[in-house]
């Protein structure tokens, strides 16, 4: 496994380097983060011998620093680095510390990145012991997947009451949770129960055009309820997530505003305060910012899919699996 892992990572590095992407290494320890209510970071404190102390965070993704480099004119870049997520369950698909491949392509959109992802998978075919990654992928929209596997018309459920009705017709649990759930929560209840487990597992499966009501920094597709976003599944597991990156200052700033408002609520039951927010981030988009597409891919899960490993503990060294 050690050798396969090392060879796969070297091959990924060659794949991007040969296409003139610049490999970068950005900080793992950061003084502030972008507000993401669904991600709880690891917090630590830096102590200065004379100037007191302050919070620092282990980054849940290298996004902020990489986007800063893009706005400074780096051109297309990639990074294979360590990321950390707290409060996620430790298990066969999750380790609190994991390896992320993140790449940004200038003057490209999510569909260009989709082709790039297909090329990357085919470039890794010599490692494909499980015979899944190198098969012809399936590409469908989220809306098609919802219809194909759950007979659920997502396009007509953009209204929260209609979506709630769809959930209630399928689910058996009648709880306060459904009545008070947001659109995003209701969508995921349906999607994770009825759609995701049915996705083809014998080949790569791309789901494109995610609903706009799942708030994120992907571009909206005008006149539709969708965003320029895809995810790819390998062996039924979510592997990578890609956006055409939002570059309008107003839209980035308003996302920032919405997420910052949500953040304290997420920390109500937690001992630590919400992380400090990097307020300078939206400013990157004040000046002209070329269009770009970004993809984040879980390298450990990729190696699982290539080798056929069922447990992330089989592809990483010294997993934190049994400490709790």
Q: Which residues bind other proteins (CB under 8 A)?
A: 38, 85, 87-89, 91, 93-94, 171-177, 181, 184-185, 188-194, 196-197, 210, 214-216, 231, 238, 241
Cα angle vertex 45, ends 71, 270, to 5°? 95
Query: From the CB of 37, what's the least distance to other proteins, in Å?
Result: 8
The count of other CB atoms within 10 Å of the CB of residue 55 is: 16
Query: From the CB of 191, what's the least distance to other proteins, in Å?
Result: 8
Nearer to other proteins, 12 or 190 (CB): 190
Nearer to other proteins, 134 or 208 (CB): 208
Nearer to other proteins, 56 or 145 (CB): 145
Query: From the CB of 172, what's the least distance to other proteins, in Å?
Result: 5
Nearer to other proteins, 56 or 239 (CB): 239
Nearer to other proteins, 130 or 216 (CB): 216
Nearer to other proteins, 109 or 262 (CB): 262
| CB-based contact 228:244 (threshold 8 Å) | yes
What gap in Å lies between CA 264 and CA 122, rounded to an integer? Answer: 43
φ/ψ of residue 238, rounded to 5: -65, 125
Query: From the CB of 241, what's the least distance to other proteins, in Å?
Result: 4
Query: From the CB of 196, what's the least distance to other proteins, in Å?
Result: 8
What gap in Å lies between CA 292 and CA 245, rounded to an integer? Answer: 6
Q: Are strands 22-23 and 77-84 parallel, antiparallel or unpaired?
A: parallel
Q: What is the 3-state secondary structure (H, E, C) of 253-296?
A: HHHHHHHHHHHHHHCCCCCCCCCCECCCHHHHHCCCCCCEEEEE
Query: From the CB of 258, what's the least distance to other proteins, in Å?
Result: 13
Residues 6+ apart with CB under 8 A from 42: 57, 58, 84, 85, 86, 96
Q: What tokens does 50 get?
A: 């004379």
Query: From the CB of 89, what's the least distance to other proteins, in Å?
Result: 4
The count of other CB atoms within 10 Å of the CB of residue 31 is: 13
Distance of CA 176 to the CA centre of its chain: 29
Q: Within 13 A of 122's CA, how many CA atoms are on the CB side?
A: 8
Q: Position of tokens 């990924």?
A: 12
Nearer to other proteins, 215 or 300 (CB): 215
């Amino acid at each position: 496994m050690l050798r396969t892992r090392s060879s796969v990572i070297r091959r990924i590095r060659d794949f991007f380097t040969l296409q003139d992407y610049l490999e970068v290494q950005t900080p793992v320890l950061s003084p502030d983060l972008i507000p993401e209510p669904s991600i709880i970071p690891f917090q630590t404190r830096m102590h200065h011998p004379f100037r007191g102390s302050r919070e620092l965070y282990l980054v849940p993704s290298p996004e902020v620093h990489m986007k800063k480099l893009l706005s400074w004119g780096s051109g297309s870049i990639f990074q294979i680095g360590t990321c950390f997520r707290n409060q996620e369950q430790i298990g066969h698909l999750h380790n609190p510390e994991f390896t992320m491949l993140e790449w940004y392509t200038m003057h490209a959109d999510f569909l260009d990145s989709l082709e790039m992802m297909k090329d990357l998978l085919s470039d890794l075919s010599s490692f494909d012991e499980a015979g899944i990654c190198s098969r012809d992928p399936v590409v469908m929209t989220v809306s098609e997947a919802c219809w194909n596997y759950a007979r659920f018309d997502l396009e007509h459920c953009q209204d929260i009451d209609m979506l709630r009705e769809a959930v209630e017709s399928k689910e058996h649990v009648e709880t306060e949770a459904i009545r008070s759930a947001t659109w995003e929560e209701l969508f995921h209840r349906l999607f994770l129960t009825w759609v995701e487990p049915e996705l083809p597992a014998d080949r790569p499966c791309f789901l494109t055009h995610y609903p706009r009501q799942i708030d994120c920094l992907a571009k909206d597709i005008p006149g539709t309820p969708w965003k320029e976003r895809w995810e790819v599944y390998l062996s039924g597991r979510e592997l990578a997530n890609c956006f055409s990156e939002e570059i309008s200052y107003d839209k980035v700033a308003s996302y920032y505003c919405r997420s910052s408002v949500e953040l304290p609520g997420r920390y109500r039951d937690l001992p630590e305060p919400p992380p400090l927010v990097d307020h300078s981030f939206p400013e990157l988009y004040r000046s002209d910012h070329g269009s770009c597409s970004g993809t984040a891919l879980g390298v450990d899960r990729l190696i699982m899919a290539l080798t056929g490993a069922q447990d992330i503990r089989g592809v990483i060294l010294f997993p934190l699996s049994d400490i709790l």
